[in-house]
């Protein structure tokens, strides 16, 4: 059985992961509007991945006999000056997610909730990867600067990331 405190924290994290999905979806739309189709696809894949993070937490609450409570998802920014600004925002966002995960880990340790602690191990590892991915793209974008050729190449590279599920076309 989950304590009410842990249950509330995990529900909060579900909201945050869905907010993350929303944020990446908005970044994807902005990249698509700027014809950066590879980046748009990478960001769409990331948006989908965030939903799976929310669902992992959701399933933990259900399996432990807890109650799911879904709060409204906050509004996100709609446009970024350039890809560097967007990926810098993504990196800062991921650092914030890491802090939130670490706080719930601390809570689980304090309450000796071993099952929650164990489940959160996956998120601790995942956050290392999330921050590393965003950092690598930020660093490449810094090197690229205003050069359209290398930006085109990076866009192509990022477009190689597969989607988790296909999206029906709008036409
Ligand atoms: Fe679910 Fe990007 O952290």
pLDDT of residue 10: 98
pTM for the model: 0.96
Q: Where in the sequence is the domain holding 14, given as residue range(s)? A: 4-158
Q: What is the pLDDT of residues 51-88, one digit of tens each?
A: 999 999 999 999 999 999 999 999 999 999 999 999 99
24 CA: nearest ligand 1 atom: 2
* Residue 163 forms part of a structural domain: no
| Ramachandran bin of 70, using left for φ above 0, alpha for ψ from -120 to 50, beta for the remaining angles | beta
* Residue 151 forms part of a structural domain: yes
* Residue 52 forms part of a structural domain: yes
* Residue 18 forms part of a structural domain: yes
List the CATH number of the domain containing 18. 1.20.1260.10
93 Cβ inside 6 Å of ligand 1: no
Please tell me the distance between residue 110's alpha carbon and the centre of ligand 1 in angstroms. Answer: 24
* Residue 170 forms part of a structural domain: no
Domain count, the chain: 1
* Residue 96 forms part of a structural domain: yes
Three-state SS string over 43-102 comes to HHHHHHHHHHHHHHHHHHHHHCCCCCCCCCCCCCCCCCCCHHHHHHHHHHHHHHHHHHHH
């Amino acid at each position: 059985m989950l304590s009410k405190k842990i249950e509330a924290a995990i529900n909060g994290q579900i909201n945050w992961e869905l907010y993350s999905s929303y944020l990446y979806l908005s970044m994807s739309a902005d990249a698509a509007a700027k014809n950066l189709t590879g980046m748009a696809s990478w960001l769409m894949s990331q948006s989908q991945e965030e939903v799976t993070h929310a669902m992992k937490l959701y399933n933990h609450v259900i399996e432990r006999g807890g109650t799911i409570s879904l709060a409204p998802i906050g509004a996100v920014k709609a446009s970024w000056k350039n890809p560097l600004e967007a990926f810098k925002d993504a990196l800062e966002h991921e650092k914030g997610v890491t802090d939130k995960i670490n706080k719930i880990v601390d809570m689980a340790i304090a309450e000796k909730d071993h099952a929650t602690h164990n489940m959160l191990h996956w998120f601790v590892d995942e956050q290392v990867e999330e921050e590393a991915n965003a950092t690598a793209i930020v660093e490449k974008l810094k090197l690229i600067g205003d050069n359209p050729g290398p930006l085109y190449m990076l866009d192509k590279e990022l477009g190689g990331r597969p989607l988790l599920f296909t999206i029906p076309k709008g036409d």
